[in-house]
Amino acid sequence: MSDATLPPADELAQRFARIYEREPILEVRGLGKQFATAGGSVQALRDVSFKVHRRELVCVIGPSGCGKSTLIRILAGLETLSSGQVLVDGKPVSGPGRDRGMVFQGYSLFPWLTVKRNVMFGPEMSGHPHNVAEGMARQWLELVGLSDFADAYPHQLSGGMRQRVAIARALVNEPRILLMDEPFGALDAQTRAKMQTHLLDIWKNLDVTVLFITHDLDEAIYLADRILVLKAHPGEVQEIVEVPVPRPRSPAQFSSEAFRATRAHIEALIHPPVVHHTMPDEEAAAPSTMIRFTAVDDNVE
Ligand SMILES: Nc1ncnc2c1ncn2[C@@H]1O[C@H](COP(=O)(O)OP(=O)(O)O)[C@@H](O)[C@H]1O
Ligand SMILES: [Mg+2]
């Protein structure tokens, strides 16, 4: 029952030493972001620094409003930063680029294009001839298991299938980094679990580095090498947690000691024990197996 015990500390240290030996693909240095608002300004991010190494899978977790989407939008080049630096492969990011692919929570496919045309869109925009783009789309649709749906339209697909198309559409451009902002957040629990395993399969077979935002602790632990825990107001790095759960991951590990210890550790970071706090009845009456963040400033355990 190796699953039931924590992996030896030196084994874990070696695993992370191997990761840190790889070159950093993404480097965030002292990143700050202020938004101008009607009443003044909002400090969304403050002094955020971290590195993501080649082929690493890093999850970002934190309560609603802590700046997760702002962070990933800055990394994608869709939003400017107020201070600090973001480097991809050592070069400062100054806008969107093909080295970064993005998958959003909402379905961002073109509804008037077929699945295949959606995936072909990027390669065609970057100048590949139609037949080459079509071949690329077919290849990536096969990888996400949607070859049979190449000629379907997005509205004919389930939520999970649409997110597979969104992943194919991002990967077809062969990005160095795949940026994912709560991509499975709108899916039912069963589909979400399948998509998590599917993502790990894809990631294992590609030279791609993944930064994955979630507010689901189980999802973060299941997927990540490391978890960046953010706290809110302003969004700051609270801790970067090395996940001690061995790879390859499987759902059976959810009950392993390593998994539960990581979960308890991060839960304590996010929800430090609160004294003198009464819990609203409905929250108390609805225990959930899935740990989720609720509202900003919500101290309910
Ligand atoms: N365009 C904007 N203008 C003003 N404030 C914003 C804007 N975008 C985000 N914010 C604020 O920045 C903070 C972080 O938001 P966001 O990055 O969406 O958080 P998260 O994704 O973690 O829920 C919030 O307080 C939010 O209200
Ligand atoms: Mg968000």
C-alpha 217 – ligand 1 centre gap (Å): 21
d(CA 280, CA 85): 43
- Both 194 and 223 in a single domain? yes
Measure Cα distances from 244 to 147, 164, 240 in Å.
Answer: 36, 28, 13
Write the CA distances from 45 to 72, 109, 118, 282, integer angstroms: 11, 29, 33, 33
List the one residue out of 122, 175, 166, 129 whose CA is nearest residue 144: 166
Q: How far is the CA of 32 from the centre of ligand 1 (A)?
A: 13
Per the domain annotation, does 121 fall within a domain? yes
Same domain, 48 and 137: no
For ligand 1, atom 18: residue with the closest CA: 69
Q: Is residue 164 within 8 Å of residue 187, measured between CB atoms?
A: no
Q: Which of 147, 174, 201 is at the close of a domain?
A: 174
The predicted structure's pLDDT at residue 103 = 96
The pair of three-digit structure tokens given for residue 258, joined into one six-digit string: 């390593």
Q: What is the pLDDT of residues 183-219, one digit of tens each?
A: 999 999 999 999 999 999 999 999 999 999 999 999 9
Cα–Cα dist 94/61, whole Å: 25
Residue 294 within any structural domain of the chain: no
On whether both 270 and 259 belong to a single domain, the answer is yes
Question: For residue 67, which ligand has an atom nearest its CA?
Answer: 1
Q: What is the CATH number of the domain that holds 217?
A: 3.40.50.300
Query: What range defines the domain where residue 83 resides?
Result: 2-99+177-285
The answer to the question of residue 211 being in a domain is: yes
Both 93 and 190 in a single domain? yes
Average pLDDT over the chain reads 90
Instruction: Answer yes or no: are the C-beta atoms of 31 and 47 closer than 8 Å.
Output: yes
Whole-number Å distance between alpha carbons of 179 and 103: 6
Across 59-78, average pLDDT = 96
Q: How confident is the model at residue 298 (pLDDT cuts 50, 70, 90)?
A: very low
Q: Give the domain-ending residue among 174, 189, 222.
A: 174
What does the DSSP 8-state code read for residue 252? G
| Contact partners, residue 225, CB within 8 Å, separation at least 6 | 16, 19, 56, 57, 58, 242, 243
**Claim to verify: residue 184 and residue 253 sit in the same structural domain:** yes
Task: Look at residues 145, 174, 203 and tell me which one is the last residue of a structural domain.
Answer: 174
Residues 9 and 132 both lie in one domain: no
3-state secondary structure of 100: strand
Let me know whether 139 and 86 are in one domain: no
Using a 10 angstrom Cβ sphere, with 0-12 exposed, 13-18 middle and 19 or more buried, the burial of residue 11 is exposed
Beta bridge partners of 91: 88
Instruction: Please answer whether residues 300 and 273 qualify as being in contact, where contact means their C-beta atoms are separated by less than 8 angstroms.
Output: no
- Please tell me whether residues 76 and 211 are part of one structural domain: yes
Task: Report CA torsion sign: 121, 122, 124, 128.
Answer: negative
Name the residue of 31, 35, 74 to mutate for ligand 1: max ligand atoms within 8 A of Cβ.
35
Residues 10 and 135 in one domain: no
| pLDDT, tens digit, 9 for 90 and up, residues 109-154 | 999 999 999 999 999 999 999 999 999 999 999 999 999 999 999 9
Predicted confidence at residue 280, as pLDDT, reads 57
Residue 6 has pLDDT above 80, yes or no: no
User: pLDDT tens for residues 231-251?
Assistant: 999 999 999 999 999 999 999
Rounded CA-CA distance 136/151 in Å is: 15
Which is the closest atom of ligand 1 to the Cα of 63?
22
Contact 212, 59 (CB under 8 A): yes
User: Which among 42, 59, 104, 294 is the best mutation to test ligand 1's pocket, defined by most ligand atoms within 8 Å of the CB?
Assistant: 42
> Which atom of ligand 1 has the smallest separation from the CA of 67?
17
Is 287's pLDDT higher than 90? Answer: no
Q: Are residues 90 and 182 in the same domain?
A: yes
Backbone angles phi, psi at 231, to 5 degrees: -115, 160
Count of domains observed in the chain: 2
pLDDT at 59 over 70: yes
Q: Which residues are placed with Cβ below 5 angstroms of ligand 2, an ion?
A: 68-69
Residue 236 CA to ligand 2 center (angstroms) comes to 15
Q: For residue 145, is it within any domain?
A: yes
Residue 42 CA: which ligand 1 atom is closest?
A: 5
Within a domain: residue 88? Answer: yes
Half-sphere exposure of 38 (CA within 13 A, CB side): 0
Query: What is the position in ligand 1's atom list of the atom closest to the CA of 62?
Result: 22
Are 87 and 44 in a shared domain? yes
Ligand 1 geometric centre to CA of 226 (Å): 24
Is 295 within a domain?
no
Ligand 1, atom nearest to 215 Cα: 22
Pair (236, 273) in one structural domain: yes
Alpha helices in 183-273 (DSSP H): 189-204, 217-223, 257-270
> Which residues are 203's β-sheet partners?
none
* Pocket residues: Cβ below 6 A from ligand 1: 35, 37, 42, 44, 62, 64-70
Ligand 1 mean position, distance from CA 81 (Å)? 13
How many CA atoms within 13 Å lie on the side-chain side of 76? 20
Residue 290: inside a domain: no
Closest CA to 81 of 26, 30, 27, 32: 32
Decide: 119 and 172 in contact? Cβ < 8 Å.
Answer: yes
Task: Judge whether 7 lies within some domain.
Answer: yes
